[in-house]
Amino acid sequence: MHALSLGTWWIHITSVIEWSLAIVLIQRRGLNNLALAMLPALVSAMAACTWHLFDNNESLRELVTLQAALTFIGNCTLALAAWQLRTQSMRHDL
């Protein structure tokens, strides 16, 4: 756990908690597709935290690749969910 300062750990952990809470609240509002689209980014953050938890151990290097892939997938799913919300909103406005 020496790879990050205490302040950086605090930011990482609270960000994961905040993102998790946002997913739950968004799902409760009935925006299930958006909540589901947020999951890859959450798992990406958890992979990054796990990598740091074990002091960036080279034997866990695959976590870096997983984290990068999930960030890309998460960005794509969030963009798709945003597009879907926009088109639904436009249809509703008609």
* CB atoms near residue 41 (< 10 Å): 18
In a domain, 1, yes or no: no
In a domain, 10, yes or no: yes
pLDDT tens digits, residue range 7-60?
A: 999 999 999 999 999 999 999 999 999 999 999 999 999 999 999 999 999 999
Listed range (2-6, 23-27, 63-67, 74-78) with the worst mean pLDDT? 2-6
Residue pair 2/55 in contact by the 8 Å Cβ criterion = yes
User: Distance from first CA to last CA of the chain, Å, rounded?
Assistant: 54
The model's pTM is 0.89
In a domain, 55, yes or no: yes
pLDDT at 93: 75
pLDDT at 92: 81
In a domain, 30, yes or no: yes
pLDDT at 23: 98
Q: Which domain holds residue 86?
A: 6-93
